[in-house]
């Protein structure tokens, strides 16, 4: 049986930070009319969004790196002489032009290059590929920081340890 999701204190801190940022952006709007930001870390996409938002709120720069590639639709609908329509052709994937094994998040925090690989523990995605390990080694060799985030609490503690509150 799957255990119920419980929001960590770190995510609650992120939500509070984001709401305070909203209040400062809209000082003339009563707080009861401002939307309360919500975050979770129960899947890789949500964890990635939370990490990026936290870095931005801490005056860093962060962006998601898309390394999937692109799908091209080469299908077309044709009508035969009997009036029947059908689809011919296929879908084709084109490889990404990005670096193989690249991290999910590229960031600059306090002047340091930081790469963050998201491996969500809630979904069971825990292992790096050989290409990701090689990418990690290249980042560390160049003097950057590399971190594997499995949940937001773990990332939050790593961030505070490396960059302070």
Tell me the domains of the chain and their CATH numbers.
9-67+100-163 (3.40.1350.10)
Q: Cβ neighbours of residue 45 under 8 Å, at least 6 residues apart?
A: none
Residue 40's pLDDT band, with cuts at 50, 70 and 90, is very high
Spatial contact of 105 and 116, defined as CB atoms under 8 Å apart:
yes
Q: Of 57, 52, 61, 60, which Cα lies nearest the Cα of 23? A: 57
Residue 111's pLDDT band, with cuts at 50, 70 and 90, is very high
Spatial contact of 103 and 65, defined as CB atoms under 8 Å apart:
yes
Cβ-based neighbour number of residue 4 at 10 Å: 5
pLDDT digits (tens, 9 = 90+) for 47-100: 999 999 999 999 999 999 976 667 888 888 888 888 899 888 888 877 766 777
Spatial contact of 71 and 92, defined as CB atoms under 8 Å apart:
yes
pLDDT digits (tens, 9 = 90+) for 116-154: 999 987 666 778 889 999 999 999 999 999 999 999 999
Crossing angle of helices 9-25 and 44-57, in 10° steps, is: 50
Residue 12's pLDDT band, with cuts at 50, 70 and 90, is very high
């Amino acid at each position: 049986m799957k255990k119920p999701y419980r929001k960590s204190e770190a995510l609650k801190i992120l939500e509070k930070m984001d709401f305070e940022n909203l209040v400062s952006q809209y000082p003339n709007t009563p707080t009861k009319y401002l939307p309360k930001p919500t975050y979770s870390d129960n899947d890789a996409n949500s964890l990635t969004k939370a990490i990026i938002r936290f870095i931005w709120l801490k005056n860093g720069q962060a962006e998601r790196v898309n390394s999937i590639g692109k799908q091209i639709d080469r299908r077309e609908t044709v009508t035969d002489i009997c009036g029947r329509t059908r689809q011919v052709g296929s879908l084709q994937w084109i490889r990404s032009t990005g670096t193989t094994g690249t991290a999910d998040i590229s960031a600059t925090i306090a002047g340091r290059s930081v790469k963050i690989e998201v491996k969500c523990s809630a979904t069971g995605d825990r292992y790096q590929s050989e290409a990701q390990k090689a990418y990690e080694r290249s980042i560390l060799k160049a003097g950057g920081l590399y971190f594997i985030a499995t949940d937001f609490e773990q990332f939050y503690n790593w961030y505070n340890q490396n960059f302070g509150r």
